[in-house]
Structure 1
Amino acid sequence: MKRDRLAIPLCGLAATVDGIDAQAMALAAPLVVRDWALPPLALGFVLGAAPLGMVLGSLVIAPMSDRIGRKPVLVFSLLWLGLFSLLLAVAGSVPFMAAMRLLAGIGMGAAVATVMALTADLSSPARRSVNVAIVFSGVPFGALLAAVIAVLLPDSVGWRGMFLLFGSLPVILAPIIAFGLPAERLRPASLRGASTSLSMRRLFARGHGSATLSLWLGIALAYQVTYFVVLWLPTLLAGAGLPLKTSMATLIALNAGAIIGGLGLAALMRHASPRKVVTATFAISSVAAVAAAVSTGAVAPLLIALFFLGLLTLGGQMALGGLVAALYPADIRGAGVGGATGAGRLGAVSGPLLGAQLVALGYTAGLIMLVLAGLQLLVVICLWVGTARPFDETHEQ
């Protein structure tokens, strides 16, 4: 019984560690650029490697949890993530660093998708969406924690020491997860033996194909907006004339809003339809993007607008995780969550590329925020269509 009480907090801790390692490269990037004199294109190559790995982890590794169990896949993913994050500390070239980030990203993608599915498994139907959203809030909390740690570390530690510290965390957590999580409830033998490909095929069976694709497109667009904002916002605002420290403070406002938004929306989903909560949140977030677009020249209004943008856009993304996890029955939840998360990671890869293209075209920060507002409205349409019809428990061959 004690293990049952620890299960959800341990899932939240795993999400936090995933958030720390996801943020590590962005925090180390200025130091790497200084030491290696990296051009922007080379840095973009390294930064884009982890989201690509997350796609592979979400689509290939996470669905295996439907067959062999959530806990072993989560433990393996954490060890994998830690190993290749630690190897970043000995990187001596851009290709090696990009390769390690790609491999670490596989562990990140598999871990976060499996954590979402495991949290849903351990939750009652009434609390499933809420608990997944709460656990997913650990990701931005980890990002904030990583930033605080990086600021407090002495300069002598450098980026190599940073990777040693952050990379050790998932390795330490893996055995805690292995011994701390309760034994999983066994599914019927026919479902335990179901192949990953069969689970994925069920996502498109009996008329669910168009809904699945619409859902994945909506999630991809949501991640595209999120990763664009997180990775490009400080650079855009610094280029618009804001002091560097002020532009960095925008990420604090965004992530603080994300944590509050994720937890607040999780509470709201206990009393209202998760589908309506999530789609309404993204609709309102487009208004926050417009407010940010017209506030780029004034610091206080801009920070307020970005706080609400984080609360609604990033918080909405966490609530979206709860909606997705509750959408699928247990026997295909790993495949469903993995596929949705993989689609999101494809959006994460394209987000920085979209930013680079818009900047190259000469778009101002305000105009770019208006583009993001339009993308958020597309997210609303895709999610509404993609979640209109729930999956049933029928096992299809």
Structure 2
Amino acid sequence: MDTSESRREPVNVRDIIDGARVSRFQIMIGLLCFLIVALDGFDIAIIGFIAPHVRSDWSLSMIALGPLFSAGLLGLMMGAFLSGPLADRIGRRGVLILSVTWFGAACLASAAAPDIVWLVALRFLTGFGLGGAMPNAITLTSEFSPARRRGTLLTLMFCGFSLGSALGGVATAYFVAEFGWRGVLVIGGLLPLMLVPVLWFALPESVRFLALGKGNDARIAAILTRVAPDSAAAGQRYFASDERAGVSPVRRLFDSEYRRGTLLLWLAFFMSLMLLYMLINWLPILGARSGLSLKQASVFAGLLQGGGVLGAVVLGVMIDRFDAFKVVSAAYLIGGAAVASLALADSAWWLAAGIFVTGFCVSGSQVCANVIASGFYPTSSRATGVAWALGVGRIGAIAGSFGGALMLSAGWPNAALYLILAVPAALSGAGIFLAGACRAPAATVSSEAVRRRFSWPSRVARSLFARSQR
């Protein structure tokens, strides 16, 4: 029987989200993902603060602590590579909850490690869970954010990582004297496990992911009613327009329309995280070699992080108004110039300003690069695209950690190191810019309204050219 409901045209879920105002429901999703990445940052930070106490308790050498740091990074990389395709198969919600449960349990188990071998192994498992949490938090937030506000909402969500890292240092300083380093790991494990029930009851599945499958219309309608109450109607069908069925999410990254962009994004992520981890790990030592006190060097490290938070927010707003690829590539280039200028710094004020601008541009751009990656790929491979870009970036982070040690041990002067560090920033900017030049038509980073606003000159030019040919 042909009814009005059966004749109803299917609706693109992306159009509903993009056309609606940001609701409390979407803010709640962003807040939950904010808490997830904050716990991610907390866990990553505490290992650096408890390392001296672990070394003292077990009488370890400095070399023995190396695997403790690299194990977590290796786990992050492996977790990112495996979680992305899994989330594109079974959904973002399930992988997120599993990842948070996993890294919470592994961190809690780390508190009972009997020796350094067990602690390194458990730090790898913790990193494995963390590697699945961050890319899927980015993906889920992106898929519930309207295009015109995606940059702002995602960068605000990602600031949770910096907040969690800062709280990790504060918590360690406060609790390690009272409960020891094992007590800090207990806290790092219990907090995510306490969040799991909240995620289970409050976190929805991505409607864009649900629209890829069949028989999910009622579930999509129930979720969209909380985004835009007037969007759902009885018998309404939904779809995602930017898809091609039957293609592996990993294979999709290397289709002809995405291959070059994928490799260029990987270049940007690799170089950006390599530079950031070089600075994060070795900036205090570089400061000490410049004659700064330990207190001054710590303040400078804080300037790098503080600049990154401010840069993420400011650049996030800018990429919602202008072309995201051009904004981020320009910021990377300015960051490269800032870090190169440190080679000529002749005062603490110059160093402080250069480090702050470097954090603003490079760390802020890395956050925005996550936004770009989340909009570069279609729904069916978005989690894979974000996760694999972060996975490649983690390889760069490992390279940066070891590369800094090699250059310092070789006796390179600070000026030469700062000049070398400008190269990865420039390559990151070039990678983002060229990725924008070869992006697929489905890539959506800025809003349709903004694109229409800035596309009128080309329409006028085409119209004048057509008239001249008559």
Q: Which TM class, normalised by the smaller chain length? A: over 0.9
Match of 1:63 in 2: 85
2:192 corresponds in structure 1 to 170
Alpha-carbon displacement from aligned partner over 1:183-228 (angstroms, at most 9, x marks no partner): 4322222799978x81010110125323311210221110100111
Where does residue 97 of structure 1 map in the other structure? 119
Q: Do 1:329 and 1:392's aligned partners in 2 also have CA atoms closer than 8 Å?
A: no
Question: How far apart are 1:339 and its partner, in Å?
Answer: 1.1
Higher Cα Rg, which structure: 2
Determine whether 1:384 maps to 2:460: no
Assess, with a 3 A threshold, how the Cα gap between structure 1 residues 393 and 13 changes in structure 2: closer, same or farther.
same
The count of residues paired between Structure 1 and Structure 2 equals 392
Q: Residue 306 of structure 2 is aligned with which of 253, 256, 263?
A: 256
Q: Which ranges in structure 1 are unaligned for 5 or more consecutive residues?
A: none
Q: Distance in 2 between matches of 1:268 and 1:3?
A: 24
Question: What amino acid sits opposite 1:306 in the alignment?
Answer: I
| TM-score of the aligned structures, taking structure 1 as reference length | 0.93
Instruction: Give the 3 Å change call, closer, same or farther, for CA 307–393 of structure 1 in structure 2.
Output: closer
Pairwise CA distance, 1:2: 5.1
Task: Name the amino acid aligned to 2:66.
Answer: G
CA deviations on 1:216-260 (whole Å, 9 max, x unpaired) are 022111010011111111123224432222222222111111111
Question: 2:206 aligned with 1:206, yes or no?
Answer: no
Partner of residue 45, structure 1: 67
Shift of 1:369: 1.6
Indicate which of 178, 182, 197 corresponds to 1:156.
Answer: 178
RMSD: 2.2
- The 5-angstrom pairing of residues 336-351 of structure 1 reads 336-351=385-400
Q: Deviations over 1:3-54 (max 9, x none)?
A: 4441111111111111111111111112222222322222111111111111
Please state if 1:189 is matched with 2:239: no
Where 1:269 maps in the other structure, the secondary structure is helix
Corresponding residue SS for 2:326: helix
Please, which of 310, 328, 334 is the counterpart of residue 278 of structure 1? 328
Distance in 1 between the 2:213 and 2:344 partners?
58
1:18 is aligned to 2:67: no
Return the offset for 1:392. Answer: 4.9
Does structure 1 retain, via aligned residues, the 8 Å contact 2:378–2:442?
Answer: yes
| Aligned-partner SS, 1:158 | helix
Q: 1:322 aligns with which of 347, 366, 371?
A: 371
Distance 1:387 1:161, change over 3 A: same
Secondary structure of 2:415's aligned partner: helix
Q: Hey, which bits of structure 1, 4+ residues long, moved more than 6 A?
A: 190-195
Are 1:332 and 2:332 counterparts?
no
Hey, what's the Cα distance between the residues in 1 that align with 2:323 and 2:187?
A: 41
Counterpart of 1:236, as a letter, is: L
Seq. identity, %: 30
Give the partner amino acid of 1:338: A
1:15–1:365 distance in 2 versus 1, CA, 3 Å: same
Structure 1 contact 67–193 (Cα < 8 Å) conserved: no
Deviation of the 1:109 alpha carbon? 1.2
TM-score, normalised with respect to structure 2: 0.79
> Over residues 318-368 of structure 1, what are the superposed CA-to-partner deviations in whole Å (9 max), with x where a residue is unaligned?
111111111111111011111111111111111111111101211123321
CA spacing shift, 1:147–1:293, aligned 2, 3 Å: farther
Kept in 1: contact 2:342–2:351 (CA 8 A) = yes
Q: Aligned partner of 1:188: which letter?
A: L
1:146 aligns to 2:168 (yes or no): yes
Summarize the Cα distance change of 1:388–1:258 in structure 2 as closer, same or farther, 3 Å threshold: same
Residues 84, 306 of structure 1: alpha-carbon distance in 2 compared, 3 angstrom cutoff = same
Q: Offset of 1:278 from its aligned partner?
A: 0.7
Q: Provide structure 2 residue ranges, at least 5 long, that are not aligned to the other structure.
A: 1-22, 215-239, 444-470
